[in-house]
Structure 1
Amino acid sequence: MEKWNQSSNDFILLGLLPQNQTGLLLLLLIISIFSVAFLGNSVMIKLIPVDPKLHTPMYFLLSQLSLMDLMDVSATVPKMAFNFFSGQKNISFLGCGVQSFFFLTMAGSEGLLLATMAYDCFMVICHPLHYPIHMSKVMCLEMIIGSWILGSINSLAHTVYALHIPFCHSRTINHFFCDVPVMLPLAYMDTWVYEYIVFVNTSLFLLFSFLGITASYGRILFAVFHMRSKEGKKKAFTTCSTHLTVVTFYYAPFVYTYLRPRSLRSPSEDKTLAVFYTILTPMLNPIIYSLRNKEVLGAMTRVFGTFCSPKH
């Protein structure tokens, strides 16, 4: 029988996987995905600043997306793996708050950044002559800083409020990381007003951003069908379709999870959906957005080829 050694201020994370051979195999798969996500995003973070040919707004946005994905996956998977192998499911009060803060910050900031990236793509394809004005480096920097600030402020407000809620004696969280919605059932008070605030807040950050992204790519696809160049049409259509695939893969589970009433949610379903936006998407983003890009692959050859070449 497992001993969790819970102290009065600790929470218990029940985790994602069963403590058996099947759970071990699935965890090894998750660790492999984590390794790919960690390596892919780390490469992008290192590559873009050092290669002059990638010093454009689009690639600066990609580097920030990689940083957010790296922090997102690092906030959840290592703790989940440690708890599985150690057999201890505890997470401290402070650790729970830190994990919740980083997860919510990355979730909010990444949604805003994806909307910015969609706008950048729209300007490149639909208004190339006005692109240097509307997407200058200063404007790009302001959008990036704005995404981080808004995401951090939103996350801090929710995290501080959630940690000040009076909890029941049982602090067992039926999830694999600390998240505000899964902590609310433990509250020793009626939280319906706050749940409504979470609903409105999530709608503003996710739903409106998603509508903005859809509108941008919709305008792009409309412009693509009127292009005369078959090569340009094919390139733009491929870019839009791959970007929309990642956006949908990220947003759909998020919206489905957070915009439903608690009565219609189940812990097992929430944990399964969380795997998409906390583990799988951080792996897919560097592959689809970056590693399939010829300019990025060329930069990798130049930069890492220089590092690996013998010095005379």
Structure 2
Amino acid sequence: MTTDTATEVFEAHRPLLLGVAYRMLGRSADAEDVVQEAWLRWSGADRDGVREPRGYLVRVTTRLAVDRLRQIKARGETYVGPWLPEPWVTDLGATAPDAAERAVLADSVSLAVLVVLESLSPLERAVFVLREAFGYPYAEIAAMLERGEAAVRQLAGRARRHVDERRPRYDVDPGRRRDLTERFLAAAAGGDLDALLALLAPGVRLVGDSGGKSKAPLRVLENADKVGRFLAGAARKGVPDADYRLLELNGGPALLVLSGGRPDAVFQLDVADGLIQTVYIIRNPDKLRALPTA
């Protein structure tokens, strides 16, 4: 295999590798680093001996992501306030035209699921991602992770039970979520408390991630009155030179707030029964740098 051909093969698989790495890590920069390291391994490998480039590249990427996740956990870094995954621009329709497949991929990359995945061990997370998001057979996963198939099945069962017990059940229909996102924008931007309260479920939660580097609640807010009043108050204070964009992040519609042309905040909503169940706000500037502004 020539160098040019090797580059073409790798680039063809790059979206898949980024998808695996991001779901493993919940951090775009780390996912990019892992995929870059996978490229270095691929470019230096004896490629003539690789019968299935896709399997080889996914295996290398998964192992690198497991190592990176272990390093992150070992550092035991203290995060100020609630932690949310770094927003990730998605275009699942291009890679998963089937509606059922798209729904699975969207769910596996949602903020709610990625938060739950943070509590899994690195190996449990790898098995869950490969099995649930990408449908790999247990035997292939076992070979990738150099574990016995029985052990991988146990890891998969434990991870699935953990996720099923903790992830909320929300409506993933993009049309309904987009409609509520647009109505939320109109109500929140205008500071209209009554309009906000009409959109919020009684037990709605607001989770803000600032990392202590900008203003956002350091604790989760709960119930419609508290969440509505916080949002209305924030709207009254305003964002200098604000502009708003709707885009797809983490498999669903999201609202990007720009201040002076720079990303200031991301809002994303979890929806069920026609009402907003969770409001996610990401304001840590380190997590917003890679988002498109045009």
TM-score past 0.5 threshold: no
Of structures 1 and 2, the one with the larger relative CO (CA 8 A, separation 6+) is: 1
TM-score, scaled to structure 1: 0.29
More strand by share: 2
TM-score, scaled to structure 2: 0.30
| Larger of the two Rg values belongs to structure | 1
